[in-house]
Amino acid sequence: MRFASLGSGSAGNALVVEVNNTRLMLDCGFSIKETTSRLARLNLSPEDLAGVVITHEHDDHAGGAFKFAAAHHIPVWLTYGTLKMAERYFPRQHDLQLNVIDSHTPFSVADVEVYPYPVPHDAREPVQFVFGDGQRRLGVLTDVGRSTVHIEQQLSGCDALVLECNHDSAMLRNGPYAASLKKRVGGEWGHLENAAAADLLARLDRSKLQHLIAAHLSAKNNTPLLAKTALAQTAGCTLDWIGIADQALGFDWRQIS
């Protein structure tokens, strides 16, 4: 089982999970051309994907998903709330293969086990996901305002984690955003800040953890060093062990053994 990122941040998000010959893309906030180009960096083409799973309807996660899926005849999985809010992204004429999921019910796409779980975020019916192959588990958590007991139950014991470190609270407070946007980003339905991500990590069973990636970093209200420092202090590791999901480059394949 392995995973890689096409890019992570407010300008677009996409991540690929691979189990055997099955590859799923999580979210698609890029254009068809850009998504195809970023897949090529991972030696993949759109035809290599078995499906796309969507966390929520915000443009940086779903804005390119439906045109991309329609162009390449790739099925999509999403909650009903996300479906209703994302209809504005549909091509005018399409034959989309849409699969509505329940936010608490696992499902499989060929060899990939998919475990959705609901999260507090300012979207209609947002979910995040844990992916598995029967033995190993990758937990993904971005776009969440605060942790919950249920989130921590889902992410505990994972072999790899992609964890939101959106902002540093002081940088957000003193930064250029309007007051209303600061309130939204820093609120309980917004995005996870570095210290809160570290606190969440501290409450997880990390005994199997092989990979820890900080994701969805704000370009204006965070730095990779601040995110790495917060997580490393909790994980008890060196800074260079913490990965960063970059906006432009994502990150290359990581193997879960």
- What stretches of 103-145 adopt beta strand conformation (E)? 107-109, 112-118, 127-132, 137-141
Residue 180 lies in a domain: yes
Q: How many CA atoms lie within 13 A of 107 on its CB side?
A: 17
Residue 95 lies in a domain: yes
Number of domains forming the structure of the chain = 1
pLDDT for 94: 85
Residue 208 lies in a domain: yes
Residue 33 lies in a domain: yes
Confidence tier at 56 by pLDDT (50, 70, 90): very high
> pTM of this prediction?
0.97
Is 176's pLDDT higher than 90?
Answer: yes
Domain with 49, as residue range(s), is: 2-249
Which residues is 46 bridged to in the sheet?
none
The overall average pLDDT reported for the chain is 97
Give the model confidence (pLDDT) of 106-165 as tens digits.
Answer: 999 999 999 999 999 999 999 999 999 999 999 999 999 999 999 999 999 999 999 999
CATH of the domain at 199: 3.60.15.10
